[in-house]
Amino acid sequence: MLLEVRGVIKRYRRGAAPANDGVDLAIDAGQVYGLLGHNGAGKTTLVNQIVGLMKPDAGFIRISGRDVVADASFARRVCSIQPQAQVPINGLTPRQAIQTLGRLRGGTAATVRSRTDHLLEALALGEWAGMDGARLSGGVKRLVSFCMAAVTPGRLVMLDEPTNDVDPVRRRLLWAQVRALADEGSAVLLVTHNVIEAERSVDRLAILDHGRVLTEGTPSDLKAGVADGLHLELVLEPGANAPEPPSFATSYVATASRIVATVPANIGGEAATWAGNLRRAGRIEEYSLAAATLEDAYVALVGAATVEEKTDVRAA
């Protein structure tokens, strides 16, 4: 086991609700591990404790069996991190920034050079490689920040929301590089609230909510709860009221413009008829019915707090 987190509790202020409330995690080398949760679930707090920016109030964190709460400098040597906040590299070009980080992390000049070239090419960043960091777009900066963590990767690579602002094509390229990091032996801890992307990219994941791990396992383990379900999504006509939840829905979340529900697989026909009637009545623009996803499992577990523009939530 490469990273072992046991019973970690962290409060920002005495008496405040804990940001981490007894977190347990275990990640092996070669694994991409997703840490999912909505804003404020305690994901970044956990990352900051692993890399030694913060100290847990209770519990322990071990990397390769070594206590990193006691020895934070060891954590910094063996962890490389892409922080959630953009790292300003004004004045440096992406190539310079990536190479400097690679060398600071102990890579030899030749290795770092060839690895930098490889990453810039793999993420299709060539045209920006020599441009001043101040002129880069948010998405390109985010990718450069990933390269800075990946050029001389640690035994543990922690990526905090690495795909924010990144275009769909380069997201795929990025996921391939995340996988490559794990294949080359690093453990990758991937922090995200993008459930759909996580489903395709991680080997295991944990869902964090209010500082606690709600559940942990492979994406299919987590989907087991909704495995015999279908994902029903309705897009409301502008200004139309959300229809009353039908009796067959096992979960039902309505926002101002969208309804997401799960229904048992054997009710698929009935659900399609119900949604078709709504469309003919002009109350919805369109609907889709598909196999349940990790997002459905996630919503079922964490509840509707994850859905933005929340207006009405009912459990059917």
Partner 1 sequence: MSALRSYRLLVTWQARRMKMFLPLGIVVQALFAFGIVAGYPLLFPTIDRTTILYLATGGPAVSLITIGLVAVPQLVSQARTEGTLDYMRTLPVPRVVYLLADMTVWLAVVVPGVIFAVLVAAIRFGLDLEISPLVVPAVLLVVLTATSVGYALASLLPPMVANMASQVLVVFILMFSPLNFPADRLPGWLATIHGFLPIQAMGELMRGTLAANTFPLTAGAFLLLGAWCAATFAATSVVLTRRS
Nearer to partner 1, 52 or 303 (CB): 52
The answer to whether the CB of 101 falls within 8 A of the CB of 83 is no
Residues 6+ apart with CB under 8 A from 61: 3, 4, 5, 6, 8, 49, 50, 67, 68, 69, 75
Residues 6+ apart with CB under 8 A from 2: 27, 28, 29, 63, 64, 155, 156, 187
- DSSP E strands: which ranges in 41-196? 58-63, 66-67, 79-82, 156-160, 187-192
Residue showing tokens 């964090």: 208
Distance from C-alpha of 75 to C-alpha of 221, rounded to nearest angstrom: 31
In the complex, minimum distance from the CB of residue 187 to partner 1, in angstroms, rounded to a whole number: 17
- The secondary element (H helix, E strand) that includes residue 264 is strand 258-264
Of the candidates 214, 232, 225, 241, the one whose C-alpha atom is nearest the C-alpha of residue 289 is 232
Cα 189 to chain centroid, rounded: 9
214 counts as binding partner 1 under rule CB under 8 A: no
- Near partner 1 by CB under 8 A: residue from 81, 159, 174, 207: 81
In the complex, minimum distance from the CB of residue 61 to partner 1, in angstroms, rounded to a whole number: 12
Distance from C-alpha of 84 to C-alpha of 77, rounded to nearest angstrom: 20
Nearer to partner 1, 6 or 76 (CB): 76
Candidates 71-79, 211-219, 229-237, 282-290 — which segment interacts with partner 1 by CB under 8 A?
A: 71-79
Nearer to partner 1, 86 or 111 (CB): 86
Q: Residues 15-54 vs partner 1: string with x where CB under 8 A?
A: ------------------------------------xxxx
Cα 77 to chain centroid, rounded: 24
Binding-site size, partner 1 (CB under 8 A): 27
- Near partner 1 by CB under 8 A: residue from 83, 162, 211, 229: 83
Q: Residues 88-127 vs partner 1: string with x where CB under 8 A?
A: xxxxx---x---xx-xxxx---------------------
Site for partner 1 in 232-271 (CB under 8 A): none
87 counts as binding partner 1 under rule CB under 8 A: yes
210 counts as binding partner 1 under rule CB under 8 A: no
* Residues at the interface with partner 1 (CB under 8 A): 51-55, 72-73, 76-77, 79, 81, 83, 85-92, 96, 100-101, 103-106
